[in-house]
Amino acid sequence: MRETVAQSHEQSMHHRDIVQDYLDALLQEASLSAELEETVCAPADISVRSVSEPVPDDSSPAQAAAVTRTRTTATEREVPEWGRQGFAALLFDVAGIKMAAPLHSLGGICLIEDNLQSVVAQADWFMGLLRWNDRNLRVIDTARFIMPERIKDNSHRAQYQSVIVLGNSRWALAVDQADESTHLASQDVRWKHLLGTRPWLAGTLLNRLCALVDVDSLTELLEEADHSSSSLKEQH
């Protein structure tokens, strides 16, 4: 019995270490990318420029959209206004990673339906349309969009139980479960201070193995990725 408990504890700690390493890697990657961009960017008197550098084939849709978007030369990322004081956050799970998003930026939560309306010739991260409150929500495969490096096939989709609506947008995230909320202070978050290639990542929660999502940035990335996907289809 003691061996079983010890093995279970060891497995739990191993999983915790893996998740912590992944979250740390996200923040480190963002910092290194931003530092590299700042090194090679145009002189400081040019305030805004359009970036059109090639995107690696193995980059995520979110990273690809981030690379092609217009950026300022100053790559420092300020703590968002909503994060400078206490805020309520929804906690949810995606492919073994716990995530959080500020409640004020969300439009609602509903159960995912087995009969999502499929749409032909869409990106692999697009799951289908869901009718909700007289709106057609575009449901995305959250794991495949923002962390494809953890995804080998579509088996993870069987774990999706709910969708989280992003504000008043047409987008909704498929998630494993979303049944907990918490109140956070600004000092509870290890904020990401450089833009990097994952603008959707606002930071990580210090006392939890949890990534904090910047909903506005994620919505922008989805619109840009969708526009890029539509442009490619028109070319073919």
- In this predicted model, what pLDDT tens digit does every residue of 161-182 receive, in sequence order? 999 999 999 999 999 999 899 9
Q: Closest by alpha carbon to 198, among 67, 40, 36, 18?
A: 67
Q: Which domain holds residue 65?
A: 2-72
Pair of tokens at residue 172: 């909704």
For 120, which DSSP code? S
What is the rounded CA–CA span in Å between residue 74 and residue 89? Answer: 29
> Could you count the other beta carbons within 10 Å of the beta carbon of residue 112?
17
In the chain, what percentage of residues exceed pLDDT 70? 64
Residue at a domain's end among 17, 46, 72 = 72
Dihedral angle computed from the Cα positions of residues 22, 106, 135 and 70, in that order, rounded to the nearest 10 degrees: -60
Average pLDDT, the chain: 77
| Per-residue confidence (pLDDT) for residue 150, from 0 to 100 | 84
The verdict on 163 and 50 lying in the same domain is no
What pTM did the predictor assign? Answer: 0.72
For the chain, how many structural domains are there in total?
A: 2
**Is residue 20 predicted with pLDDT exceeding 60?**
no
Residue at a domain's end among 72, 92, 115 = 72
